[in-house]
Structure 1
């Protein structure tokens, strides 16, 4: 995984310039691991998977710069060799996921509520705009900027602003200690306990509450701790005593957390093919939502997943809005979504900013038509 620093992506630029001149829409494509996510995209395929390699890696500076087509798995392997990681745990979903796709989708894994999102770790980026210009924003250090921090705006932009060619990311050392506790708690009790622990100096890194999945198995709250050895050991003893928890073996829980990240847990198998998977984003302190479907809850209460019909969109979005959140139709069932938009409505202010960004970076509207800016 080596590359010539800042080599010019001439072929990609030529494709964009030709598409702009002909007003031909382009579908920016990486490994295809997130094709299920978002609205359908129109256009000719613009493959970025050949634009790969590490441009620079400075372990002592905790920063890596890679090309957008670089496999996410390759980047994580490189970091692991030096005892470092992408702390926000980006989902893979399948083999072939790329760094550019990771940034464009803006999705984060189980640790997001504790360490931050993809956007928080993007230091800089290079991308090709709708005029076929190669632009550079940000750098390799954290700093405040005036106006839009464009390199971070790319996180979650779904390819609507341009073709990401290179990204600089902040990386972190792997925590010296880790432990997972499990507690037999119902949803209300689990949320209350998470809220209580949230106000205490505990090294909680991730959590997930899983509802009863048939049989006699109770609903369970899993809590992962990461940090200094002494802090993790002290928290384990205290939390287990306080809420009746059991400590699990790290070898097993590592697989379980990866399965949660990539939606391979039993919960993420559709109960019936016509149901859709909804992602509900709410404040961590939100109570149990007034919905008839049992959720899987992550991010200390802030991210909740439910399987429900697409035609129940109004009920789902109303209940989520009541909790000051929003709902995303994350995966559609085999029958489709009946015209239900994947993303919730945004405010007029956000819609205005979104349109201004698109007008500035892609005035001809050639990139990923049909996909809203997240």
Structure 2
């Protein structure tokens, strides 16, 4: 794995953006360019893959520190060689995702309800902020945090708060597992690490040797599911991600794929706007053929919107990072 320290070149790019008052559109592998609102300003595109490579990895301590431009595929290969994994199982769209994109998008995969989300495994980050300074938060050990955990604030911010330079992650050992297709989901399954309903079929991932009847399926199914390579997630003009309480009946029948024990439902071309019809939870227009659509995230109420806006101004006072990518103000 190649190691490149691109700190100086990224600092220069930020300094020029501040001097010219011209925003930056941040990209890594460009694998999630479809996700989030489109840019609402004339931006200079900045490729972050110039800053890549593993900084520190101690397998017996289960901690990995890596630069943000590093390929997710390379990180997964490194961890697999040591029998370890990223517990939140991030999607690797087109095999082009970077670690920075993993953190910036905050997207977790099938293990999410059983192991935790991206933010739960972030120990520390370094960020190049809107004043041209590299700021470091957190560390490389799991501990109780007093005050505001800024490291986790970067998860899901889509690069709007600054350029993620490197991240320290908690990793876990990988255990032998098997994937089964079952006609009916048992009431209780010991050691369950993933469950999905695709069309009318249920898929479960359990430790090898678990007493569950079903047809054995290639474990690559879960990678395909997370990366949206299944036909059920490629149909339609607009794909919505509906996050609701698992007991909710909304969009359950319309969903082509249901994940996370019912908490996430993928719906293509629903009737009406889920932002308006959802009674609990939130909806995201995850992918659309309408590139001009600017309201892809659930609208924020006035109080939450003000908090988001204040955070944005604190980290990026001149608004040079990914303008418009997220909704900062309530409709």
Q: TM-score, normalised by structure 2?
A: 0.92
Q: Does 1:79 align with 2:82?
A: no
Q: Does 1:317 align with 2:270?
A: no
Q: In the aligned structure 2, how far is the partner of 1:373 from the partner of 1:131?
A: 22
Moved more, 139-148 or 163-172: 139-148
Q: Does 1:115 align with 2:71?
A: no
What is the aligned partner in structure 2 of residue 205 from structure 1?
Answer: 193
Deviation of 1:318 (Å)? 4.1
Kept in 2: contact 1:293–1:308 (CA 8 A): no
Q: Does 1:343 align with 2:303?
A: no
Q: Does 1:280 align with 2:242?
A: yes
Residue number among 268, 282, 285 corresponding to 1:329 in the alignment: 285
Deviation of 1:302 (Å)? 0.9
Output aligned runs, 1:40-55, within 5 Å. 40-41=38-39, 42=41, 43-55=43-55
Q: In the aligned structure 2, how far is the partner of 1:290 from the partner of 1:2?
A: 45
Change (3 A) 1:340 1:17: closer
What is the aligned partner in structure 1 of residue 102 from structure 2?
Answer: 102
What is the aligned partner in structure 1 of residue 214 from structure 2?
Answer: 246
Q: Number of matched residues?
A: 326
Output aligned runs, 1:1-374, within 5 Å. 1=1, 3=3, 9-41=7-39, 42=41, 43-175=43-175, 177-185=176-184, 196-197=187-188, 202-211=190-199, 219-226=200-207, 233=209, 236-237=210-211, 240=212, 245-248=213-216, 252-270=217-235, 272=236, 275-284=237-246, 286-289=247-250, 293-308=254-269, 312-313=272-273, 316-320=274-278, 322=279, 324-333=280-289, 336=290, 339=293, 341-372=295-326
Kept in 1: contact 2:182–2:215 (CA 8 A): no
Change (3 A) 1:23 1:303: same
Coordinate RMSD, CA, aligned = 2.1
Q: Structure 1 stretches of 5 or more lacking a match? A: 212-218, 227-231
Kept in 1: contact 2:62–2:171 (CA 8 A): yes
Deviation of 1:128 (Å)? 0.4
From the two aligned structures, give the one with the greater helix fraction: 1
